[in-house]
Amino acid sequence: MKRKKGIVLGLLATGLFLPTVVMAGHFWVGLFTKDTPYTEQSFISNTKLAQFNRAIEKEWRNGSDIIDIEYGDDRWMAISAKGTGFSQQVYLHKRDWKKFEAAVENYKKQGFVLTNVENGKGYWLGILAKGSRYSDVLLTNTRYEEAFLKEISAQWKQGYHLIDVEPAEGTWVGLFAKNTGFLEQAYHSIDDWDGVPKIIEERWAEGFRLNSIEYGGGKWFCIFVKDAHKTEESYTTNSEIPSFRKAIRKQWNRGYQLIDLAHGRD
């Protein structure tokens, strides 16, 4: 069954929404916002990891940085952009979690901070950068969701904010940082997609913006933040890659920038 294209728009200052169209099956989600520092963006998609790696290297040669990676339905996707403020990036993938952690720590000693974590086809992937505004970045791995939610509360008390989450391989991986610029943060773990639009609308009405969305362990996990400025957001859902590409281009033409990708099921 094909999934029909659906777009939701939101203006945080006014709480303006349009309904989304949802059908059963797997689908992609793209999160967009205005008022980013990005000057150019590209959307990368490939079913082969080796070719995906070469596409990332090509973006680097063109002066762009990777801001998000996503895997789903046997496909790798990434967002690249110029104007990130990063001075250098590295990209790593390891099958073994301990080796992944060790590689992250090694790069940390060289001045890189981990900005994005993804899991796909048995690989742990990470994007690390120099020049990120984030500081004291922590990578955590907990066995159960309940323990992970307690970890979030504990890190909040220490002045950290959650910047990425990856439920995979029976664990919940969290990426926490200081100096995020966030004034307040909230999250929601939702069993079915049908409940996600309502939560987003409620948080938009409260002045939050959706910073990222992830799917894993049979749940959708949404991270909301408040910061110093208001901005417009939108998101689109598509199960067909050509339609997803068209939806992205349409949002770019409307002045929105793509900041996050997710893949999941109803």
Give the single-character DSSP code of 207.
T
Q: What is the pLDDT of residues 36-94, one digit of tens each?
A: 999 999 999 999 999 999 999 999 999 999 999 999 999 999 999 999 999 999 999 99
Q: Structure tokens of 261?
A: 């990708």
Q: Is the pTM of this model over 0.85?
A: yes
- At residue 32, the pLDDT reads 98
The percent helix, strand, coil of the chain (3-state, each to 5) is 25, 45, 30
The pLDDT assigned to 82 comes to 97
- The Cα 95–Cα 258 span in angstroms is 28
**Beta-bridge mates of residue 135:** 178
| Number of other CB atoms surrounding residue 150 within 10 Å | 12
Q: Is 43 left (phi over 0), alpha (psi -120 to 50) or beta?
A: beta
At 207-219, the pLDDT tens digits run 999 999 999 989 9
Each residue of 154-209: pLDDT tens digit? 999 999 999 999 999 999 999 999 999 999 999 999 999 999 999 999 999 999 99
Domain definitions of the chain by residue range: 25-265
Per DSSP, the residues of 220-237 read: EEEEEEE-SS--EEEEEE
> End-to-end CA distance of the chain, in Å?
13
Q: Are 195 and 213 in contact (CB under 8 A)?
A: no
- The pLDDT of residue 214 is 97
Residue 7 pLDDT > 60: no
Q: Residue 266: which pLDDT band, with cuts at 50, 70 and 90?
A: confident
* Residue for token pair 């952009």: 81
The pLDDT value recorded for residue 5 is 36
Given pLDDT bands bounded at 50, 70 and 90, which one contains residue 228? confident
DSSP codes joined into one string, 75-119? EEEEEEEE----SEEEEEEESSHHHHHHHHHHHHHTT-EEEEEEE
pLDDT averaged over the chain?
91
